[in-house]
């Protein structure tokens, strides 16, 4: 049986909803359709019971208590609520936030918004590996620091930040620690207590749940408080008003349940596929560079740059495989990836980069096809590239002084 084209290899952008998740959700669209906040009759009770079971499932995968889980529309809302909600509530006492230049856009944009409101923000750089320097973080935390926000897993390069060490440092300084874990939940073991995490953002569609649902973990002991952004009926203990989408909550819970069971075996399988992919590329192409630490990385991510390739043409050559040149939310930008630039990757290589995401339905045959497809595309582009011709003639295009300069 032949492969079905195109092949999906962009699992950091989104994942297909697991059929088991869909099956769990379906009754709550038509049969058990009650409002989970209607406590006067059986329809509401049944919906509320389903939502609370989902809350328990979400809490379990990160080692939290169910009452510490707030349902949201996704990680973007969770990140906005965490940063803006905490900063505004504590502003009179502490008015400084520390974050990282490689964070998701919704974190960086929230910080810019808060700066306009008088909050001071420190943005840490990263090492060439993509990881932060813990000494720099320690030096950045001061008496006015209320919150440190560092994403668990980067959405472009897949590197895993040292969460436990960051959490221990923040706890010792009396500072809240928030992590955007959209790319981490369901893909690696997480424990909010062992890691001293105070707030954590979760997104359902990143690990085979439905789109439009996420969660924010908000620690109760020691208690973290925040200012609500959605006002109304006071649902979610006053933190996020609005009628909960019962089917989506159920779907998120079921995705967490499945991931908790299958994650260890799936991580090993994906690590094997990624090794096969990388070996296939570097074995047949020269000047292939991996972006970000290869060891401290989720197993389903590979971000690679190809030297002597015109970047704007590279993605256009990827006709039969769905991959990305950067994050999905910033794909409209014509600038090179700000994440890769923060690692010190030069602009040409940053443009000529692919983010390849492997997932639950990825097969060995699909990986082998992707290797052939990428190798052929890069080889064709290099044959047309004057830079590649000059390189093969022994001219280093990076140091050549051009006439007229």
Distance from chain centroid for Cα 348: 24
Among 106, 249, 256, 329, the one annotated catalytic: 329
* CA-wise closest residue to 7 among 276, 317, 319: 319
Active site residue 111: no
The pair of three-digit structure tokens given for residue 8, joined into one six-digit string: 């999906």
- Residues with a known catalytic role: 329
């Amino acid at each position: 049986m032949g492969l079905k084209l195109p092949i999906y290899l962009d699992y950091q952008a989104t994942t297909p909803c697991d059929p088991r998740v869909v099956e769990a959700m379906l009754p709550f669209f038509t049969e058990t359709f009650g409002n989970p906040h209607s406590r006067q009759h059986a329809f509401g009770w049944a919906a509320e019971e389903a939502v609370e079971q989902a809350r328990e499932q979400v809490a379990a995968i990160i080692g939290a208590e169910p009452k510490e889980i707030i349902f949201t529309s996704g990680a973007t809302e969770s990140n906005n609520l965490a940063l803006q909600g905490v900063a505004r509530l504590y502003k009179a006492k502490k008015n400084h936030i520390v974050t990282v230049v490689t964070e998701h856009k919704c974190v960086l944009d929230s910080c810019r918004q808060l700066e306009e409101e008088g909050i001071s923000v420190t943005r840490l750089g990263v090492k060439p590996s993509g990881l932060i320097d813990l000494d720099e973080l320690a030096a950045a935390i001061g008496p006015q620091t209320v919150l440190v926000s560092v994403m668990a897993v980067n959405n472009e390069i897949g590197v895993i930040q040292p969460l436990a060490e960051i959490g221990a440092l923040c706890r010792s300084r009396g500072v809240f620690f928030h992590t955007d874990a959209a790319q981490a939940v369901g893909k690696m073991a997480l424990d909010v207590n062992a890691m001293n995490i105070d707030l954590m953002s979760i997104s359902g569609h990143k690990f085979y749940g439905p789109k439009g649902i996420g969660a924010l973990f908000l620690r109760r002991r020691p208690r973290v408080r925040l200012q609500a952004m959605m006002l109304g009926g006071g649902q979610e203990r006053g933190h996020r008003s609005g009628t909960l989408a019962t089917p989506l909550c159920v779907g998120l819970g079921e995705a967490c349940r499945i991931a908790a069971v299958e994650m260890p075996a799936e991580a090993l399988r994906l690590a094997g596929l990624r090794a096969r992919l990388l070996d296939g590329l570097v074995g047949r192409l020269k000047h292939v560079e991996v972006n970000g630490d290869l060891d401290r990385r989720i197993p389903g991510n590979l971000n690679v740059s190809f030297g002597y390739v015109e970047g704007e043409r590279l993605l256009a050559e990827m006709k039969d495989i769905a991959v990305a040149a950067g994050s999905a939310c910033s794909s409209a930008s014509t600038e090179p990836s700000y994440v890769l630039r923060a690692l010190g990757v030069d602009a040409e290589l940053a443009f000529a980069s692919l983010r390849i995401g492997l997932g639950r339905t990825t097969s060995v045959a699909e990986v082998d096809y992707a290797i052939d497809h990428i190798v052929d595309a890069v080889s064709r582009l290099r044959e047309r590239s004057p830079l590649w011709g000059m390189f093969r003639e022994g001219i280093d295009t990076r140091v050549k002084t051009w006439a007229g300069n």
